Amino acid sequence: MDWYSFKKEEKQKFVDVLSRGRRLKNTIVVFCLVSIALLVLAGYSRAQKKVTVCVEGKKMEVQTFKKTVGEVLQEKNIPLKPQDKVTPATFTFLKDGLKIVIRQAIPVTITADNWTQKHWVYPGTVAEVLQSLDVSLGKNDLVRPPLTSVVRAGTQIKVTRVVKIEAVKEIKLAFNTQRETNPNLPRGFTQVSRAGRSGLEKQNWQITYHDGREVERCLLSRTIVLAPKDRVLQVGTKRQVAVSRSGQGINSAQEVTMLATAYTHTGNNTASGTPPCYGSVAVDPRVIPLGTRLYIEGYGYAVAQDIGPAIKGQRVDVFFETGAQARQWGMRSVKVKVLR
What's residue 12's pLDDT? Answer: 62
The percent of residues in the chain predicted with pLDDT above 90, rounded, is: 40
The rounded Cα 328 to chain-centroid distance in angstroms is: 51
Q: Alpha helix locations (H) across the chain? A: 8-47, 69-75, 126-132, 323-329
What's residue 5's pLDDT? Answer: 55
The percent of residues in the chain predicted with pLDDT above 70, rounded, is: 79
What's residue 48's pLDDT? Answer: 82
The pLDDT tens digits of the residues spanning 278-322 come to 899 999 998 899 988 899 998 988 999 999 888 998 899 999 988
Distance in angstroms (rounded) separating the CA atoms of residues 338 and 288: 9
| CATH domain 240-339 topology | Barwin-like endoglucanases (2.40.40)
What's residue 25's pLDDT? Answer: 60
For 23-62, b/e burial (b = at least 16 CB within 10 A) is eeeeeeeeeeeeeeeeeeeeeeeeeebebebebeeeeeeb
DSSP conformation letters of 204-263? EEEEEEETTEEEEEEEEEEEEEE--B-EEEEEEEE---EE-TTSPEEPTT-EEEEEEEEE
- DSSP annotation of 197 reads B
Q: Which of 27-31, 74-78, 153-157 has the lowest mean pLDDT?
A: 27-31
Q: Does this chain's domain 106-160 share its CATH topology with 164-232?
A: no
- What is the average pLDDT value for the chain, to the nearest integer? 82
What's residue 235's pLDDT? Answer: 81
What's residue 30's pLDDT? Answer: 53
3-state helix, strand, coil in the chain (%, to 5): 20, 45, 35
Using CA atoms of 180, 181, 186, 190 in order, give the dihedral in degrees to the nearest 10: 20
pTM of the shown model: 0.49
Among candidates 261, 275, 247, 102, which has minimal Cα distance to 191? 275
| CATH domain 106-160 topology | Ubiquitin-like (UB roll) (3.10.20)
Model confidence at 154, pLDDT cuts 50, 70, 90, reads very high
What's residue 112's pLDDT? Answer: 93
| Bridge partner residues of 207 (DSSP) | 165, 217
| CATH number of the domain located at residue range(s) 164-232 in this protein | 2.20.230.10
For residue 162, pLDDT over 80 is answered with yes
Give the burial class of 298: count Cβ atoms within 10 A of its Cβ; 0-12 exposed, 13-18 middle, 19 or more buried.
Answer: exposed
Radius of gyration of the chain (CA): 58
Indicate the residue type of 285: P
Distance of CA 86 to CAs 26, 106, 246, Å?
55, 15, 120
The pLDDT tens digits of the residues spanning 245-283 come to 444 444 455 788 899 999 999 888 999 888 899 899 999
Q: Domain locations in the chain?
A: 1-30, 49-103, 106-160, 164-232, 240-339
Torsional class of 56: left (φ above 0), alpha (ψ -120 to 50), beta (otherwise): left
Give the burial class of 68: count Cβ atoms within 10 A of its Cβ; 0-12 exposed, 13-18 middle, 19 or more buried.
Answer: middle
The pLDDT tens digits of the residues spanning 186-224 come to 566 667 778 889 999 999 999 999 999 999 999 999 999
The pLDDT tens digits of the residues spanning 30-43 come to 555 555 544 444 44
| CATH number of the domain located at residue range(s) 49-103 in this protein | 3.10.20.90
| Bridge partner residues of 138 (DSSP) | none
Edge-first strand listing for the sheet containing 177-186: 177-186, 231-238, 190-194
The rounded Cα 257 to chain-centroid distance in angstroms is: 67
| Bridge partner residues of 236 (DSSP) | 182
